[in-house]
Amino acid sequence: MSKIRFSSNILKRLGEELNPGIDKGILELVKNAYDADAESCIVDIGTGEAGGTLTVSDDGDGMDINDIDEGWLVLGNSRKIHKTTRLGRLPAGSKGLGRLAALRMGHKVEMTSVSINDRKNQYSLSIDWDYYDREDLVDDVELTIDSRINEGKTSGTEIKILELRENIHRADIKKLAREMVLLADPFSDVKNSFNPVLIAPEFEDLEKLVQRRYFDDAEYYLEAELSNNKECTLSVKDWLGNVLFSGSMNNLKGPYKTISFRFEIWTFILNNKNFLNRTVTISEIRTWLKDFGGIHFYQNGLRVSPYGDKGNDWLDLNLQRVRSPEERPSTNNTIGRVSVTADESVLIPKTDRSGFIENETFRELHRFCTDALDWMAKQRLAQAEKRRANEKKEVPKALKKTKDKMLSVIINTAEGEDKEKLHKAFTAYDKARQKEADALQNELLLYRTLSTAGITAATFAHEMLGEHLKNGSLYISILKNKIKKETQIRNPEDYLDKLNKLNDTFEAIKIPGQTTLSLIEHEKRRRSKIEVHEHLFKLVDEFQAFYDSRNTNVETNFLQSSVYIYATISAFESIIVNLIVNGLSALEQIHNKTRKIIISTVQLKTDEIEISIVDNGSGITGLDVKDIWLPGQTTRENGTGLGLTIVKDTVKDLGGTIDVRAKTDFGGAKFTVILPTI
């Protein structure tokens, strides 16, 4: 009988040649330790030089002789199943090819393992790759798994890669360190957590990164400890460990009817200025926080889900930031935890084990954490206000000093007509600069007004979309059911019709609230490649209930092809939303015909798209067209006159242009936006 056989060269092809990088190969061995439920995995790079030794050891479940023979030595197949491991981990390793890439990094491999199910025996295996390279077929090489009495008590696996073929460079170790951090539990002092350790004597900063994660790069560290319901300690430290603020129960709204616990958060200020001289980048920390950001909950050293999971902002960090954005943390720039030692009679788990029943103990714990965050925000805000006040004092002084120095230079160095010309030129420049400063000050006041309006709107939107509308919809449903059952009500259809209209009104009220909260989402404020029509369709759909409540038809006439611009989603949406709202406002006085808005797109050039919005209202009247872009100019009663100002500024920021026709054949005004495409 014949069979497919493999040349020994296949090991080189699958090992060295398909290896995407040294870091990926080593990481695969670390993932194997993770999948084996190890709590510790030590990667010892040694000297990292060719000819040296790389060691990866763990205290996981280990392998017996069958696991080694039927699993570890079988390449391209995995005995792992997609169920969680003994400790509830999702398997992270691949099907053996990544492991092969790591093992082929050296000329020889020595592997030793002790199984958690057979601690009396230790199994070992040696591989000499040079021997394979001398043979024609893989099958021609036989391996022996040795067995001896295990003198230790712990299970685990140790792999030594001997006689490294090439140097391991800093770039490789840095990539490995980043990946080990993402694989590790964020907090290393909790039960059953995975804690990889990197030993690379030449690169102590990377050793420290794996050990400390990114905690040392947090700008602020809040530590709040409640020892009993009347006593607590509060402190905020900077990234160097210096105490910035400290407090006690007198600074909070206690006492708190709850148990003793510890609350910690690390907050990062993610701007380029803060990371100029650091060894890590903002993108690395953002990636880490994307996976682990938020406030986690630990009871008796074990993690309690879903607190701190993605989308579970149980302390309302993001809501509080919306209400008062300055100096407050969010789930995007913060990682933290609550640590409690208590049995289930105090903090009672829900039946499905998804968190705790919110009894008084839990509510008071929540209140303490929120108050501690408020305290930190106030301290940081006071510090920021003091800094701004000092800057306001210093800037005019510095400006006057510079001006006097310039005039002194003119007086002392120039002569005759040149002196007079220079003096006049400098005076003219000073007036122009002052005019520019005044304009910027006015613009600052405008956007402070907008910020206040936005914060207020977002706060009300959150409240409105909460219990108030839910209760309203519930009461409508109850009334409709009662009316249907009540036999003595005359013309029940009239009442049901009115309730349906009231329900439609509630749905329309949701639109501005949902839109407001959507516009301020953090991810929408990051520049990226966005598809124009995808977001236009999305906005048109989101406003549908609003159009219905105003008896307005919105028609679209879009290009069939995809068109991309480079912008923030929030900027693009603010343009379209303001123009739609402007059109709806213009149609408020139209009663004798069907209200219509048409949104169209046209490809002008290969690198430009035209977006037009026109309504069939009465057009722009009572205001000069050139003045509609000025802040505060509006013909609408109770209007702010700020929407079109925002549109003009945003379009300009995106490198585009905007034009308007006050009256069209369709009836109303037509706004045309032209944006550069990519």
pLDDT of 354 > 70? The answer is yes
* Segment 200-224 mean pLDDT: 91
pLDDT class for 258, splitting at 50, 70, 90? very high
Q: What secondary structure does DSSP assign to 584-625, as a single string?
A: HHHTTT--SS-EEEEEEEEEEETTEEEEEEEESS--S-SS-G
| Distance (Å, whole) CA 251 – CA 253 | 7
**Best CA proximity match to 650, nearest among 666, 673, 633, 628:** 673
Q: How far apart are CA 143 and CA 135, in angstroms?
A: 14
| Higher-pLDDT residue of 417, 609 | 609
Which letter does DSSP use for residue 76 in this model?
T
DSSP secondary-structure letter at 487? S
pLDDT in tens, 221-248: 999 999 987 899 999 998 888 899 999 9
Residue scoring higher pLDDT (510 or 31): 31
* Domain boundaries, position 333: 215-381
Tens digits of per-residue pLDDT, 266-287?
999 888 877 777 778 888 899 8
pLDDT given for residue 135 in this prediction = 75
Nearest to 41 by CA among 26, 62, 57: 57
Do 561 and 600 have their domain in common? yes
In order, the DSSP letters of 90-141 are PP---SSHHHHHHHTTEEEEEEEEEETTEEEEEEEEEEEHHHHHHSSBGGG-
Confidence (pLDDT) at 653: 85
Instruction: Examine residue 405 and state whether it is found in any structural domain, yes or no.
Output: no
Taking residues 404-418, what's their average pLDDT? 80
pLDDT tens digits, 658-670: 999 999 999 899 9
Dihedral in degrees, nearest 10, Cα atoms 4, 9, 13, 19? 120
Question: Is residue 51 domain-shared with residue 170, that is, in the same domain?
Answer: yes
**Residue 614, in any domain of the structure:** yes
pLDDT of 399 > 90? The answer is no
Buried b (16+ CB within 10 A) or exposed e, 656-668: bebebbeeeebbb
For residues 474 and 608, give the distance between their C-alpha atoms in angstroms, rounded to a whole number. 48
Q: Is the pLDDT of residue 344 over 80?
A: yes
Residue-wise pLDDT for 67-84, tens only, equals 998 888 887 665 555 578
Q: pLDDT-derived band of residue 97, with 50, 70 and 90 as boundaries?
A: low
pLDDT in tens, 17-47: 555 678 888 998 999 999 999 999 999 999 9
pLDDT at 338: 96
Residue 392 domain flag: no
Same structural domain for residues 150 and 269?
A: no
Final residue before a domain boundary, out of 212, 229, 244: 212
Rounded Cα gap, residues 564 and 505, in angstroms: 36
* One domain for residues 527 and 598: yes
Query: Which residue shows structure tokens 């209202």?
Result: 617
Nearest CA-CA partner of 150 in 62, 80, 272: 62
| CA separation, residue 534 to residues 330, 354, 543, 569 (Å) | 28, 36, 15, 11
Q: What's the number of domains the chain is made of? A: 4
Whether the bond between 91 and the residue before it is cis, its omega within 30 degrees of 0, is no
User: Per the domain annotation, does 606 fall within a domain?
Assistant: yes
Q: Look at the chain and count its residues.
A: 678
- Domain boundary (185, 212, 239) is at 212
Task: Quote the tokens at residue 75.
Answer: 């390449």
Q: Are residues 369 and 425 in the same domain?
A: no
pLDDT grade, residue 62 (50/70/90)?
Answer: very high
pLDDT at 649: 86
Q: Which residue has the higher pLDDT, 498 or 601?
A: 601
For residue 138, give both structure tokens: 């893989």
- Verify that 34 and 155 share a domain, yes or no: yes
How much is the mean pLDDT over the chain? 83
Q: Which residues contact 255 (CB under 8 A, 6 or more apart)?
A: 229, 230, 249
CB 78 within 8 A of CB 96: yes
Q: Assess whether 253 and 148 both reside in one domain.
A: no
* Tally of CB atoms within 10 A around 545: 18
Q: Which position has the higher pLDDT, 386 or 149?
A: 149
pLDDT digits (tens, 9 = 90+) for 602-638: 998 788 999 999 999 888 887 888 878 876 666 665 5
The set of long-range contacts for 3-10, using a CB threshold of 8 Å and a minimum separation of 24, is 5/137, 5/138, 5/139, 6/137, 6/138, 6/139, 7/136, 7/137, 7/138, 8/132, 8/133, 8/135, 8/136, 8/137, 8/138, 8/140, 8/141, 10/138
Pick the range with the lowest mean pLDDT from 157-161, 383-387, 515-519.
Answer: 515-519
Distance from C-alpha of 89 to C-alpha of 61, rounded to nearest angstrom = 13
Say yes or no: 270 and 373 in one domain: yes
For residues 370 and 298, state if they share a domain. Answer: yes
147 pLDDT band, cuts 50/70/90, is very high
Segment 204-218 mean pLDDT: 90
Q: Residue 3's pLDDT is what?
A: 62
Contact indicator for 56, 42 with CB cutoff of 8 Å: yes
At 126-143, the pLDDT tens digits run 999 888 878 777 777 888
List residues bridging with 554 in a β-sheet: 597
**Rounded Cα–Cα distance for residues 253 and 257 (Å):** 12
Looking at residue 604, its pLDDT comes to 85
Which residues have C-beta within 8 Å of that of residue 471, sequence separation ≥ 6? none
Residue 464 pLDDT exceeds 60: no
Q: Are residues 528 and 418 in the same domain?
A: no
Look at residue 631 in the predicted model and tell me its pLDDT. 67
Q: Which pair of structure tokens corresponds to residue 536?
A: 């236009």
- Mean pLDDT lowest among 54-63, 69-78, 171-180, 375-384: 69-78
Please tell me the predicted confidence (pLDDT) of residue 641: 66
d(CA 406, CA 409): 5
Residue 206 maps to which CATH number?
3.30.565.10
Phi (first) and psi of residue 470, to 5 degrees: -60, -45
**577 domain residue, yes or no:** yes
Gap between the Cα atoms of 493 and 208, Å rounded? 73
Residue 658, C-beta contacts closer than 8 angstroms, at least 6 positions apart = 647, 648, 651, 671, 672, 673, 674
Measured CA to CA, the distance from residue 77 to residue 499 in angstroms comes to 63
Residue 1: predicted pLDDT:
59
Specify the pLDDT at position 538: 87
- Tell me which residue has tokens 């236009």: 536
Domain assignment present for 514: no
> Is residue 408 in a domain?
no
Q: Is residue 290 domain-shared with residue 233, that is, in the same domain?
A: yes
Q: Could you tell me if 203 and 55 lie in one domain?
A: yes
What amino acid occupies position 111? Answer: M
Q: Answer yes or no: is 266 within a domain.
A: yes
C-alpha angle 310-311-315 in degrees, rounded to nearest 5: 105
| Domain-terminating residue out of 160, 188, 212 | 212
pLDDT of residue 81: 55
